Structure 1
Amino acid sequence: MQSLTAAPARNVAAFRQALQEGAERLKKRFGDDEPVERLVRDRACLVDTLLKSAWTLHVGEYAQEVALIAVGGYGRGELNLCSDIDLMILMPKSAAWPWQSRIEQFLAFTWDIGLEIGHSVRTIDDCQRECAADVSVATTLIEARLLTGPQALFEAMRRALAPARVWPTREFFEAKVAEQAGRHRRYHDTAYNLEPNVKSSPGGLRDIQTIGWVAKRHFGAESLDELVDHGFLTRAELRKLKTAQAFLWKVRFALHVLTNRREDRLLFDHQIRLAAMFGYEDATYTLAVEQFMQRYYRTAMDVSLLNEMLLQLFREAILSAPNSAPRPVNARFQIRNDFLEISSEDVFDRYPSALLELFVITGQHPEIHGVCAQTVRQVTRHLWLIDEEFRQHPRNHRLFFEVLSAPTGVTHELRRMNLYGVLGRYIPTFGRIVGRMQYDLFHAYTVDAHTLFVVSNLRRMAMPKYDHELPQLSRVMQSLEQPELAYMAALFHDIAKGRGGDHSELGAVDAEAFCLEQGLSRYDARLVAWLVRHHLVLSVTAQKKDISAPHVVHEFARLVGDQTHLDYLYVLTVADIRGTNPKLWNNWKASLFAEFYERVRQALRRGLERPIDQEELIAEIQARAHELAARENLDEAILQSVWRHFTDAYFLRHTPGEIIWHTRMLAGRAAGDTSALISVQQQSGRGGTGISTYTPQSQHSFARTTAQLDQLGLNIVDARITPMADGFSLDVYHVLEDTGAAITDTARILDIEQKLTRALERRDDDDAPVNRRTPRQVRMFSTPTQISFSEDPDNQRTILELIAGDRPGLLSRVARVFMAQHIDVHASKIMTVGERAEDVFYVADESGRPLSEEALGRLSLGLHKALDNDA
């Protein structure tokens, strides 16, 4: 670096070269697997050298009057490869600043050479004032480090910012805990998102830094090691914390190497490449990327536990009244300063069941704010006591079910059990899914986090104060005699993920065995196992099958057998979907599931030996439509005039509300009019926006309609194409905005009507291409096109099931193949599962018959050709 100090002022090339060469050496050392702790500190040393040299060159004669100070992470002497560099220029009190232009030249120079500098220029009074106003400013200055300039000025600043002057320890601690809680909420209070932020997500580097900030403010501790000397960490805990920090640093450093920029998000784009960089390989049932991410999530879990424990220790040292008297709960536990603690150090040795009793007590006493840190430490030290003998003891069975059946706090205590490691020890199969992720866009959380979200959703249905969220489901849930059986099914429904085979079948075996071991009756154990085995069936049936068909309803009624099984399955299914991905649940799905549940419930009331037939169902639907028409003052003559064009298939597929909608739509249509007719129902009875088109069958409007709706950015969730007796086709599309909401903007509806009208009135065969871009996350996955056919003999049609990579224009591509091969679409069920489209089409040939073997072959070939070339 001698050449830098000797270089002419503003020798940008020399500095830039030094910076680039230093970065390349660090990348090489990273590739050689050198400890990342050295790399982040050596990066800081390199920047120190460059900045000091640049300061000398530009500030020169004023270098001993003004201080150049590193703050924030750079102040700690830790810099990642592309991290921001935070500086503060500290000036003495002075009315005139003769060095101002020199400082401006220095800052411009740092940007010219490739350093991303964040800077502030302050006096000591400025520092004190801004620290007092903002705890984040105070935090960055707590870590201040003098690079060059007068030591006395730097020390004066530190004295001015001492706890006695600004942000006393108590206030600082409370502010940082609140700040952390707010940050965690921005990440949904979980480290287990699909694309976590290594720095800011719960369990990330910021949680470790929060510990350091509080320790420095209260104890003056300069490193985590000093917490051992103060008695706040054991040597083993310090090793675990530093190991976690090193792993997170390594992940962050690798992200910077891959992207050549400051990047803290573990995006899908990077996860596979990072897994390869870290040496992971695909195994029989687990991808390399899933193994890597499980290591990440388990590291985040370690950090979260240590963060909770240390902040609680700090709370006791900083906020709690010294020597406050404990309040006994029983012989084993007491409450001190609103936190639960064991009454003596040997409680768990003498009474291992206290490892479960702890969670019963915290659930029963809402006034308890948490578990004291020393007790958490004792829990983690005694996890080895939860062995097979412990799991077989009737007392522990009773305690576990007390946790599940508590009136409040069930989810909170299960999450606490998981964080402390107790849940995975008591249910060993659960321990295997902790931190396990699935590399797709459908499952937004790790398996264990998702499982506990499902329990949480069930709990909300069980509590009257949340009745407004899902009124019907809340009524069903609160009518269950044993809601804890639903929680048990939730705990086991995905417990066999990652083992190979059908996770529902494997999980059902595990669930029944566990329930019998816990002392449940054989009926209850079999009910839980049945729920685990069939937890996907209701969702798949409602979203992929034609639930208007009486035989579909009857078959499902035979599967569930009775109202009890249906009720348990209904609430579990909805809780599962809502806990899989926050974007999956919407009013459309709520309406769809409620409609199917009601149809199956009615079938069970009739009796499985007396299934409803088609004529009887049509008569019921028409009778309800007549009642609705009378309330809306629709003349019977109008009904008869319009309904003579409706077929039996039409009445089976549409609700009475839709029938009246279409009756009004067609009532004033002149005879012989062949123009396209479009009607948009802003809030359909099915929870979305309904769009009806009435066109001659010869126009094959399905292709043009789906292309136009896709281009408009609408998600088509259901399509029903019904040939009328007059040669027209009455098609109904239920659509949602990308957010999952119905369309509420009147101008948006008008735009849809106008564009759809123009699209359907075009006479040429070439449809406008859909040119919306495929989302970034979806582009990361390659889903091979899968096509299967089956027969629907009751309705004389062929069922086509298509799995393909989701992308804009997919549905219109499929529709164009149908049009080219003269295939009529009678209905479609559109289902997007993360990055995959899983769509079902009910089709027939032009004569209304199921497709022949030859036609099936042509259709399969045509679809592969249309979809595989640009997948």
Structure 2
Amino acid sequence: MHLATLATSLASAFDAGGMDIDVRPLIARRSAGVDEVVTAAWKRAVATAPGDGMAAPALFAVGGYGRSELYPQSDVDLLVLLEETAQAALAPSIARFVALLWDAGLPVGHAVRSLAQTTTASLADITVLTAMLEARALSANADAVAGLEHAIDESRVWPPADFFRAKRDELRERHARFGDTADNLEPNLKEGPGGLRDLQTLRWMALRVLRTGDFGSLISLGQLGADEQATLDRQYDVLARLRFGLHLVAGRREERLRFDHQKALAARLGHVDAPGSLAVEQMMQRFYRSAALVQRIGERLLQRFEEQLEGEGAVEPVDARFELRRGYLAAREPAWPADVGEVFALFHAWAACEPDRVRGLHSRTARALAECLSRIPSYVDADARARSDFMSLLRGPRPVHSLTRLARLGVLGRWIPAFANVSGRMQFDLFHVFTVDQHTLAVLANIAAFERGGDERFSVAHEVIPRLRKPELLLLAALFHDIAKGRGGDHSALGAVDAREFCVAMGLPPNDVATVEWLVARHLLMSVTAQKQDIADPQVIHRFAQQVGDRERLELLYLLTCADIAGTSPKLWNAWKDRLLADLYVATRLALRRGLESPLMASERGDETRAATVGLLSADGIARVDIEAVLDRMPVIGFQRANADQMAWQARALLALGARETCVAARPLADAGALEVFVHSPDRDGLFAAIVITLDRLGLAIAQARVLDGPGGRVFDSFQVVPSDPRLQPDAHDVAQRLTRVLEGPLDALRPARRAQPRHLRHFRIAPRVDFDDVPSPPRTMMSLVCTDRPGLLADVALVLREQRMRVHDARVATFGERAEDLFQITRVDADGLDLPLDETTQQALRAAMLACLDGECP
């Protein structure tokens, strides 16, 4: 009852404190309350001495409980120190003691060891020693306390140098498990990079290396600046507040800030929605910034611990102002830096060094840089020399490395205040898996990968980037493309204004200013065109080419689009998107070369594709008469909408068909698991639904579908598919065989597989919309669907279309995190079997059926 009352009191105090509540007193009260329960149970259950002159058993709090740091759902870790010969005799009493604690509602973990066993266990497992470092006596005399200290003394187990190296490696391995970033959508407050475990690890290192675990005392030892210590204290408060609240919201020991709890915790802390910034986004931004500061200062402390153990090491000159100390870049002058020009000079020297030569920035120089951040002017207030120095970084060696370092060390946010505003800013959706600043750095990293080449994810980018006249324009566009996120309004338009002002201030020529401004304003144009329009249509290419205007902008936009999509989420880029954008780039480049005044006509494109297809098949040794015969069986529009390679592949499949009526072929598009699937079959009701349902059951998601009617009432359908699970590598031959078996049987009984909705999708609900537009030639109806994505969505949609007797002629499927945006070109089949566009009554009936399905009432 005592603990329940305490928990209620702590929760009330937390809720009354708001977003800046100091939870340290609450943590201390929780620990003190647990102390009372534990010591009372100990006195009740365990004898004061085992008899026969043996030492009395001693009780210690260890781990987080040992440092009196207990959150609402934290484990209570205990050590019973007892001579080995007495352990069996006292085992029943200790078991009763633990049972009393469990009955009281405490999640107890305990160990019973002698002093010798403690030494042995600590030698074998550094985590045992780590827990002992902050042991606190709950019921122990002075001899027991001294004995425990001696048992884990550095002269017996894990001397300082060994302990430091082991804990440093442990920290790095732990960071690697989280992708070396705190900027995850569901970060771990305790174990993740920049989390509470990082602060604890630094404290443990200090205890072993410097014999003090108090960050304040490290100031007098010259290991930590007063500003650094104050920063670590502030960030601990932020992290501790979040963890305390998370335990309250979750009602259990939960360290991962899941979507399930983010909104509730933000509300509990008092955050409120604001224009362009949700309450949950404000809370998460605070966390990401705190984690980044913990990591930044933590790196400096690790270096200082190294120096304490290994000495300063040899000094290697770099230039007149900088040198390497133990491989870390350092300023030679103690008073560095005098101005922002010297700051940029540091990054120039860093960029000029070979990458393997520099381990990082020296801790003293990093601290000096941090201390001078407030004196760094924004580009608006800077002089012409500083502006020139910045631009020379973008035009110098490894500019992406320089921009990344400037961002992570806080300089870029001072130089461009708008970048500071998006630092740590998350977007509460599943599409953007990184904060805005980390996404921007990922986009820049992709651009650097284009320059290096060898990244098989991008088939054309490495060929395009060497042709850029001024690569720095691409870097500037990448830097500003999302910089206006969170302000409300169109971030592309607002960011274009920022980009223009910056480029003018940097002294760029007017044409270059206009190019960067256009790229930022239209950075989504190519992605939207490729994914939502039919880029095989010459009219679509012509319109896109008119918007782009010239080849330089096309090349810049293509590279920016590839880098942007691939930098949004590791799962978002795939072989299909690579091919889609490459095809749009190549087609637009040809259109620009031909001239915007003479666009390519569909019939001309069809003739060119057919001629190229004949050439490919002739190269295979196929007789010309056979080639012409098979191509005549294929729909004319196919040559207008596909490329020669696709048409030749389909023709080969038809030549091998023999007497069978159904032909299914599949081939890999790239090594990322994407497939192209071709289906040739007599047309019949439900065929499209059967294909979609079967592909879904095979674990394949359709990215694009083209459904063409050929001579003799036969269909020529092609699908671009990718694995729903990126870990799967589908076999093209197996897919073709299984789909063939389905299509050769009855289709009416085929139903989509039912799956549970993934946990994370439950927290992102999009009100479904179904809209219709007319397609004039040929007369059809375009149905657009926007809704929350879920497993099997397209299969359910296809089933509704089948039940409503709709025929699908084209489909474009796009998923943006939790948001599905799908387009279908459809007709209704009348009593005479004719394809007609949908009238108003039919549209209303289809919309009602589709919305019912999306609400879980599928046929």
How much has 1:741 moved relative to structure 2?
6.5
Structure 1 position 438 matched with structure 2 position 407: no
**Using the alignment, how far apart are the partners of 1:39 and 1:360 within structure 2?**
48
Answer yes or no: is the 8 Å Cα contact 2:121–2:128 preserved in 1. yes
Q: Secondary structure at the match of 1:735?
A: strand
Paired position in structure 1 for 2:288? 297
Answer yes or no: is the 8 Å Cα contact 1:68–1:89 preserved in 2. yes
Cα deviations by residue, 1:294-321 (Å, 9 ceiling, x for unpaired): 1221222222222223333333333333
How much has 1:490 moved relative to structure 2?
0.5
Answer yes or no: is the 8 Å Cα contact 2:827–2:835 preserved in 1. yes
Structure 1 position 806 matched with structure 2 position 794: no
Paired position in structure 1 for 2:764? 781
Cα deviations by residue, 1:589-637 (Å, 9 ceiling, x for unpaired): 1122222222222222333233222222222222332233234444555
Q: Could you tell which deviates more after superposition, 280-289 or 302-311?
A: 302-311
2:10 pairs, out of 26, 29, 32, with 26
**Using the alignment, how far apart are the partners of 1:299 and 1:593 within structure 2?**
38
Question: Which portions of structure 1, spanning 4 or more consecutive aligned residues, are displaced by more than 6 angstroms?
Answer: 684-687
Structure 1 position 43 matched with structure 2 position 26: no
Q: Secondary structure at the match of 2:273?
A: coil
Cα deviations by residue, 1:753-781 (Å, 9 ceiling, x for unpaired): 447744773354x6524311121111111
Answer yes or no: is the 8 Å Cα contact 1:71–1:143 preserved in 2. yes
2:245 pairs, out of 250, 254, 257, with 254
How much has 1:443 moved relative to structure 2?
0.4
Q: Secondary structure at the match of 1:698?
A: coil
Answer yes or no: is the 8 Å Cα contact 1:298–1:435 preserved in 2. yes
Pair 1:769–1:161, CA change in 2 (3 A)? same
How much has 1:529 moved relative to structure 2?
1.4
Answer yes or no: is the 8 Å Cα contact 1:722–1:730 preserved in 2. yes
**Using the alignment, how far apart are the partners of 1:135 and 1:413 within structure 2?**
38
Paired position in structure 1 for 2:160? 169
How much has 1:399 moved relative to structure 2?
1.7
**Using the alignment, how far apart are the partners of 1:752 and 1:254 within structure 2?**
53
Structure 1 position 558 matched with structure 2 position 546: yes
| Residue identity (%) | 37
Q: Superposition pairs for residues 79-118 of structure 1, below 5 Å?
A: 79-94=70-85, 97-118=88-109
Q: Could you tell which deviates more after superposition, 296-305 or 816-825?
A: 816-825
Answer yes or no: is the 8 Å Cα contact 1:691–1:732 preserved in 2. yes
**Using the alignment, how far apart are the partners of 1:606 and 1:226 within structure 2?**
73
Structure 1 position 864 matched with structure 2 position 822: no
In structure 2, the gaps of 5 or more residues are none
**Using the alignment, how far apart are the partners of 1:551 and 1:855 within structure 2?**
29
Answer yes or no: is the 8 Å Cα contact 1:691–1:733 preserved in 2. yes
Structure 1 position 579 matched with structure 2 position 601: no
Letter in 2 for 1:24: T
Structure 1 position 221 matched with structure 2 position 212: yes
Answer yes or no: is the 8 Å Cα contact 1:183–1:201 preserved in 2. yes
Paired position in structure 2 for 1:423? 412
**Using the alignment, how far apart are the partners of 1:241 and 1:55 within structure 2?**
37
Paired position in structure 1 for 2:725? 739
1:495 pairs, out of 445, 464, 483, with 483
Letter in 2 for 1:39: L
Q: Could you tell which deviates more after superposition, 386-395 or 238-247?
A: 386-395
Q: Superposition pairs for residues 37-76 of structure 1, below 5 Å?
A: 37-62=24-49, 64-76=55-67
Paired position in structure 2 for 1:381? 371
**Using the alignment, how far apart are the partners of 1:386 and 1:247 within structure 2?**
26
Q: Secondary structure at the match of 1:82?
A: coil
How much has 1:437 moved relative to structure 2?
1.1
How much has 1:54 moved relative to structure 2?
2.8
Pair 1:819–1:428, CA change in 2 (3 A)? same
How much has 1:794 moved relative to structure 2?
4.8
Pair 1:687–1:564, CA change in 2 (3 A)? farther
Paired position in structure 2 for 1:710? 696
Q: Superposition pairs for residues 503-582 of structure 1, below 5 Å?
A: 503-582=491-570
How much has 1:124 moved relative to structure 2?
3.2
How much has 1:216 moved relative to structure 2?
1.2
Pair 1:162–1:763, CA change in 2 (3 A)? closer
How much has 1:214 moved relative to structure 2?
1.4
How much has 1:121 moved relative to structure 2?
3.5
How much has 1:511 moved relative to structure 2?
0.9
How much has 1:456 moved relative to structure 2?
1.0
Answer yes or no: is the 8 Å Cα contact 2:331–2:365 preserved in 1. yes
Pair 1:84–1:139, CA change in 2 (3 A)? same
How much has 1:413 moved relative to structure 2?
3.3
Counting matched residue pairs gives 845
Answer yes or no: is the 8 Å Cα contact 1:92–1:153 preserved in 2. no
How much has 1:172 moved relative to structure 2?
2.1
**Using the alignment, how far apart are the partners of 2:622 and 2:583 within structure 1?**
26
Letter in 2 for 1:738: S
Structure 1 position 337 matched with structure 2 position 321: no
What is the Cα-based RMSD across aligned positions, in Å?
2.9
In structure 1, the gaps of 5 or more residues are 1-16
Cα deviations by residue, 1:136-169 (Å, 9 ceiling, x for unpaired): 3332222222332454244223223222333222
**Using the alignment, how far apart are the partners of 2:315 and 2:844 within structure 1?**
81
How much has 1:327 moved relative to structure 2?
4.0
**Using the alignment, how far apart are the partners of 2:672 and 2:306 within structure 1?**
51
Pair 1:729–1:467, CA change in 2 (3 A)? closer
How much has 1:234 moved relative to structure 2?
4.1
**Using the alignment, how far apart are the partners of 1:753 and 1:560 within structure 2?**
43
Structure 1 position 697 matched with structure 2 position 670: no
**Using the alignment, how far apart are the partners of 1:440 and 1:389 within structure 2?**
33
Answer yes or no: is the 8 Å Cα contact 2:122–2:129 preserved in 1. yes
Q: Could you tell which deviates more after superposition, 470-479 or 336-345?
A: 336-345
Pair 1:176–1:840, CA change in 2 (3 A)? same
Letter in 1 for 2:344: L
Pair 1:183–1:506, CA change in 2 (3 A)? same
Cα deviations by residue, 1:317-364 (Å, 9 ceiling, x for unpaired): 333338x6674732x54443333333445433x433212222222222
1:646 pairs, out of 617, 634, 649, with 634
**Using the alignment, how far apart are the partners of 1:390 and 1:683 within structure 2?**
48
Structure 1 position 196 matched with structure 2 position 183: no
Letter in 2 for 1:446: T
How much has 1:664 moved relative to structure 2?
4.3
How much has 1:496 moved relative to structure 2?
1.0
Q: Secondary structure at the match of 2:30?
A: helix
Paired position in structure 2 for 1:3? none
**Using the alignment, how far apart are the partners of 1:532 and 1:741 within structure 2?**
34
Pair 1:844–1:55, CA change in 2 (3 A)? same
Letter in 2 for 1:553: I
Paired position in structure 2 for 1:816? 799
Letter in 1 for 2:530: A
Structure 1 position 473 matched with structure 2 position 461: yes
Paired position in structure 2 for 1:8? none
Letter in 1 for 2:376: I
Letter in 2 for 1:250: R
Q: Secondary structure at the match of 1:726?
A: helix
Q: Could you tell which deviates more after superposition, 415-424 or 96-105?
A: 96-105
Answer yes or no: is the 8 Å Cα contact 1:392–1:517 preserved in 2. no
Q: Secondary structure at the match of 1:440?
A: coil
Pair 1:848–1:210, CA change in 2 (3 A)? same
